[in-house]
Amino acid sequence: MQLRKNPNNIFVKLLLGFWLCSSLIIALIGFLPLLQQNHDQSAIPYPLERLLEKSAKRISQNPQILTSDKLTHWSRFKEFKGRPARIYLVDEYGKVLNSHKSSRSLRRFMLMADEAGEPIKHQFRDELIFGPYNFEVAGQPYSLYGRLPEHHPRPWFFFFIDNKILTLSIAILLSGLLCGLFAWHLGKPLRSLKRSADALAAGDLSSRVDMATVKRNDEIGQLAQAFNGMADSVEDMVKSQQRLISDISHELRTPLTRLKLSLALSRKKGQETAETERIEYEADQLEQMIAELLELSRVKLNANENKRNLELSETLNQVLDDADFEAQQQQKILHIDIDESISVPLYPRPLCRAVENLLRNAIRYADKEVTIQAMVHKQGIQIEIIDDGPGIQKEADLEAIFDPFYRPQSARERESGGWGLGLAIAKAAVQAHQGQIQAENNQPKGLKISINLPAQ
């Protein structure tokens, strides 16, 4: 039923496309012999018919020629407009009387003329044969055929008739070309759909299928509309979830503030005990966790900030100074290798927070040294943060460490392991740039985290 309503569906396009392509090739190949026949074979013109008539009249006036031994040397050659014309005398049985051997072209023409039922002419490659002219001598039927040794230029498409293998090869090539163009026409919107799906899967919630694909009237257009609708729903759902987390985290700060205020009042009244100290410590930890959750949701939403083309070293200047100070306090060395000429479109605050979290994590677990370096490549820039610490023992943890609340070593204390939100914030910040982040164990030891940011 849908097929009748919508003639632009894929089934109809495939059917018509391949059917028309095949029909066109077959028609072109089949039409060539008809063109040749119409061009080479036609009614005999009057001057040629007159030439045969004169020869027949001469034989009728001199019937002794038919019984003479010199019949084979009978004047077979005539002049026709300055060109030699050869005349063939044929009896009722189709035997050529004035020639010992008839050519293949003549025998072929005799069959064509007999099938046509009237006098005709036919242009062979190097000669023109015409006839027959029928007459009687002493009650015996005879026929005359003529031949002119001339070569007429043939139309260019006759070349394909004489070269059948080449014609077949060209037909196959043309068919492949037409089918290839048709396949490209169908494959182009599918490639657009794939790019949009890959971008959406990579975290770019704003990715949509282009309008040229959406406006198609076939199933691909319907699929593009459904995909864009799905992407809108996913984006709204994710943003609603992030706003919910942000709102909950924000609301949790109010009772937490009251709790810390109550602890401060208790201290003033001299009611400080080990239990109150523990409550204050847990309250501080909870406040830090809420702050991290707010930062994570803020980076993922990224609603009120635009990219700016800035120098990377200047953007990270304060972060690098703080990291260097922190490394010195822990008797470790921070190596910085970032060219001041490197610039890239970025969100300053999310990128600074990402690099800050990664540097703090590297300094925390490094033995002696931490290195941060930036390199330019064709697609954009790559930032690498390398430490000489223990690295990650399990290969499966190299991807999981960027998930929220994930800690690769469950035996770590909270003071050293945190809540597993720092690397999640870094990943969210990189994805906001449509970039990629990955971790790998460095040799001989340590961990290397790479950030790739696009040039646009």
List, by residue number, the catalytic residues.
Answer: 250
> Measured between alpha carbons, how far is 326 from 439 in angstroms, rounded to an integer?
23
φ, ψ (nearest 5 deg) of residue 322: -65, -40
Contact of 338 with 306, CB cutoff 8 Å: no
CA atoms within 13 Å, Cβ hemisphere of 298 = 16
Q: Determine how many CB atoms are found less than 10 A away from the CB of residue 294.
A: 18
Instruction: Give CA separation, 262 vs 60, 250, 275, 320, 356, in Å.
Output: 144, 20, 14, 38, 33
Short-list 432, 281, 238, CA closest to 347: 432
Give residue 11's identity as a one-letter amino acid code: F
Contact between residue 88 and residue 55 where contact means Cβ atoms under 8 Å apart: no
How far apart (Å, rounded) are the C-alpha atoms in residues 174 and 25? 8
| Residue partners of 216: CB distance under 8 A and separation at least 6 | 8, 189, 224
DSSP string, 86-107: EEEEEETTS-BSS-SS--HHHH
Task: Name the CA dihedral angle for 361, 363, 367, 373, rounded to a multiple of 10 degrees.
Answer: 100
